Chains A and B, each alone.
Chain A
Amino acid sequence: MKSKWIIAAALGAGLAAPSLAQDKVKLVDVVELSGAGATAGTNWKNGIDLAVADINAKGGILGRQIEIVHYDTQTNPGNTRAAVQRAIDEGTYAVLGPVFSGPIGASMQISQRAEIAQFVGGEAAGLTKQGNQYLFRTSLSQAAAMPKIANYLKNTVKAGSVAVVWVNNDFGKGGRDAIIPELEKAGIKVAADVATEQGQADFAADAIKIKNSNADAIFVYLNEEESARFLRAAKQQGINKPMVGETTLLGAKVIELAGDAANGVKGHVGLSIDAPIPAFQEFGKKYQAKYNYASDHNGLKGYMAVYMIKWATEKQKKFDSKGVADTLRGATIKPSDEPGILMETTIESNGDLDRESFLAEVINGKQVINATLPKIKP
Chain B
Amino acid sequence: MTAPATEGSLPQQRGRLARVPSLAAFADGILITLMLGAVILWFAPAGMGRYGTYVLSLWLVTSIAVMGLNLTLGYAGLKSLAQAAFMGLGAYATALLTTKVGLNWYTSFALSGLLTFAVGLVLGFPALRVKAHYLAFVTLAFSTLIWLILRNEQWLTGGVFGLSNIPRPSLFGLKLDGALAFHRFVVIVTLILAVALWWMIRSPWGRAFTALRENPIRAASLGIDTRMYTLLAFAIGSAYAGFAGALYAPLVEFIDPSPFSLSQSFFLLLMVVAGGAGYLLGPFIGALLGVVLPEWLRVVGSLYLIIFATIVMLLLIACPQGVSGLLERGWAKLTGKGKIGKTVAGKSVAPNTGGRS
Contact = CB atoms under 8 A, between A and B. Distances in A.
Do A and B touch, yes or no (CB under 8 Å, in the complex)?
A: yes
A106 B161 contact: no
Contact of B162 (A34, A86, A102): A102
Contacts of B337: none
B255 interface: yes
Contacts of A321: none
B330 interface: no
A124 B159 CA distance: 13
Interface-central residue, B54, B58, B161, B253, by most chain A CB under 10 Å: B161
Interface string B221-264: 00000000000000000000000000010011111101100000
Interface in A154-194: 168-170, 173-174
A124 B258 contact: no
Interface string B141-153: 0000000000110
B49 interface: yes
Contact of B161 (A36, A81, A170): A170
What does DSSP make chain A's interface, helix, strand, loop or mixed?
helix
Contacts of A72: 298, 302, 304-305
B103 interface: no
B253 A70 contact: no
B248 A78 contact: yes
A168 B161 contact: no
Contact of A105 (B52, B161, B251, B298): B161
A76 B160 CA distance: 12
Given A34-B305, A89-B49, A109 B161 contact: no
A105 B259 CA distance: 14
A33 interface: yes
A88 to B, nearest CB: 7
A65 interface: no
B58 A169 contact: no
A59 interface: no
B252 A106 contact: yes
Nearest to B263: A35
A105 B54 contact: no
Contact of B259 (A71, A77, A168): A77
B252 A173 contact: no
Interface residues of A, number: 32
Interface in A56-81: 70-72, 74-78, 81
A131 to B, nearest CB: 11
Contact of B160 (A70, A88, A168): A168
Contact of B159 (A81, A130, A173): A173
A234 B51 CA distance: 48
B164 A85 contact: no
A365 B52 CA distance: 50
Of A74, A102, A124, A170, the most chain B CB neighbours within 10 A belong to A102
A156 B304 CA distance: 50
Contacts of B49: 89
A345 to B, nearest CB: 25
A33 B52 CA distance: 22
Interface string B304-340: 1100000000000000000000000000000000000
A82 B159 CA distance: 22
A168 to B, nearest CB: 7
B188 interface: no
Given A72-B305, A77-B252, A82 B55 contact: yes
A293 B256 CA distance: 32
Nearest to A106: B254
A101 interface: yes
B51 A86 contact: yes
A34 B298 CA distance: 13
A126 interface: yes
Contacts of A106: 162, 164, 252-254, 256
Contacts of B154: 173
A138 B268 CA distance: 36
A33 B161 contact: no
Nearest to B179: A85
A291 to B, nearest CB: 14
A193 B101 CA distance: 33
Contact of A78 (B50, B152, B259): B259
B196 to A, nearest CB: 25
A168 B154 CA distance: 12
A169 B54 contact: no
A174 B161 CA distance: 8
B258 A36 contact: yes
A85 B49 CA distance: 9
A39 to B, nearest CB: 15
A168 B151 contact: yes
Given A76-B259, A77-B256, A168-B151, A102 B161 contact: yes
Given A82-B54, A106-B252, 14 more contacts: A33-B302, A71-B298, A77-B255, A81-B252, A81-B253, A88-B51, A101-B160, A102-B161, A106-B162, A109-B165, A109-B254, A170-B160, A173-B154, A174-B160
* Ranked 9 nearest A-B pairs via Cβ: A102-B256, A106-B254, A86-B51, A89-B49, A170-B160, A85-B51, A89-B51, A173-B160, A78-B252
23 contacts: A72-B302, A74-B305, A77-B255, A78-B251, A81-B253, A81-B254, A82-B55, A82-B58, A85-B51, A86-B295, A101-B162, A102-B161, A102-B162, A105-B161, A105-B254, A106-B164, A106-B254, A106-B256, A109-B253, A126-B161, A130-B164, A170-B160, A170-B256
